[in-house]
Structures are given as C-alpha cells and as structure tokens.
C-alpha cells in the first residue's frame, strides 16, 4: 500500500464508477428496475462510508495489515455490487 491518500482515492473512484455504471444501465435499458438501481446506489454510499471510517480509524495496532484488509474488503464489496448491477 503506497499511502492512505491513494487508498482513499481507490475507494472513491471505484465506488463512484459503480454508481455511474448503475445510472447508465438504467438510462440505456428502459426495462431495468429503477428502484433496484436506487437501492444499489444507496448500498454503494453505505459501503463508502464504512470503508472511509475504517481507513480513518486511529486505534489500529498493525496499520499495514489493517489497510491491506480494507483494500481487500473494497475489492470484495465492489465485486458484489457489480454483480448486483449486472443483474439489473
């Protein structure tokens, strides 16, 4: 992990891209369920808040391991969200 700043950028860009993909899917596919898309966007926002809170946690003993775990959690949660967007 290069820096906390880069981890925060990764979280922001990754989850922002998922929101964009979700909105584009709804616009391009009139058969897509808008309520499901809105629920996915809400879940992305909750995920963002959770991950940023974990990055900003001050009472961490092993910072390197903690940030690697946050990065791994970002990847797994982003993949799950992308699967939900693909199912629209």
Measure CA 17 to chain center: 9
Tokens linked to 82: 């992308």
Burial of 51 (0-12, 13-18, 19+ CB in 10 A): buried
* Mean pLDDT within 44-52: 97
Tokens linked to 59: 């009472």
Residue-wise pLDDT tens digits, 8-39: 999 999 999 999 999 999 999 888 888 999 99
Alpha-carbon distance 21 to 18, whole Å?
5
**Mean pLDDT taken over the chain:** 92
* Mean pLDDT within 60-84: 93
Q: Residue 65: which residues within 8 A CB-CB, separation 6 or more?
A: none
pLDDT at residue 52, rounded to an integer: 96
pLDDT at residue 2, rounded to an integer: 61
Tokens 């990754």 belong to 14
């Amino acid at each position: 992990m290069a820096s906390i700043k880069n981890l925060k950028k990764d979280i922001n860009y990754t989850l922002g891209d998922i929101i964009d993909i979700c909105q584009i899917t709804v616009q391009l596919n009139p058969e897509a369920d808008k309520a499901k898309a809105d629920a996915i966007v809400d879940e992305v926002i909750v995920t963002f808040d959770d991950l940023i809170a974990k990055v900003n946690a001050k009472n961490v003993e092993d910072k390197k391991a903690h940030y690697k775990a946050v990065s791994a959690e970002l990847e797994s949660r982003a993949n799950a969200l992308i699967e939900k967007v693909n199912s629209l």
